[in-house]
Structure 1
Amino acid sequence: MIVTLSKPITAHGEEVMQLDLREPTAEDVMEIGFPYLVVQSDDGQGVELRPKVAGRYISRLAKVPMSSVKQLTVSDLSKFQGLIMGFFGQGDEAAAATEGA
């Protein structure tokens, strides 16, 4: 999946405006963990986003170093987090949590 960035970043010594994000595998999940936690609240269950874990997924799935991930704008990080959550069937919850932030 090609994702266009709102602002270029440097990856592998080159300026890039797009990252190619592959779908995670079971191995990725076993090594990195889930990008969210299911939490109990007074009104039921909720989803707590884990941006550090999402950053590790971006680095691994797009094959860029973490130093490149740290250059992303907040809006691009949120976009990637929503895409990653979508792989886990949590895309709608991620979008709602990001919009409410």
Structure 2
Amino acid sequence: GDGEETPQHPIEYTGLDLATLQFLGKRLSHIPEGFDAHPHIPKMMAARANMFQDETCRVDWATAEQLAFGAMLCHHLRPDCVPGAIDGAAAAPTVPHHHI
């Protein structure tokens, strides 16, 4: 209301494509061979893996948090990994870390 213009900030892409989410979801729901997991864990991990079977999947809050941390770790270790560049074909934009 005082006549000053509101500064415009660029909109940054922070999403992940389906292929990247499926890649991370598969890795996050994998129990390493030989690992002696609690008896309830394999069933839980199988349910989590099923969340990533198609494009209409929905994930629970805990899985969404794991995907977020997985995406940031992947980006930190291999900047070409996120988003959509599992094959290294595309450069990844900066992933904001301010929410950690």
- The TM-score with structure 1 as length reference comes to 0.33
Give the structure with higher Rg (CA). Answer: 2
The structure where strand makes up a greater share of residues is: 1
Instruction: Compute the TM-score of the two structures, normalised by the length of structure 2.
Output: 0.34
Q: Which structure carries more helix by proportion?
A: 1
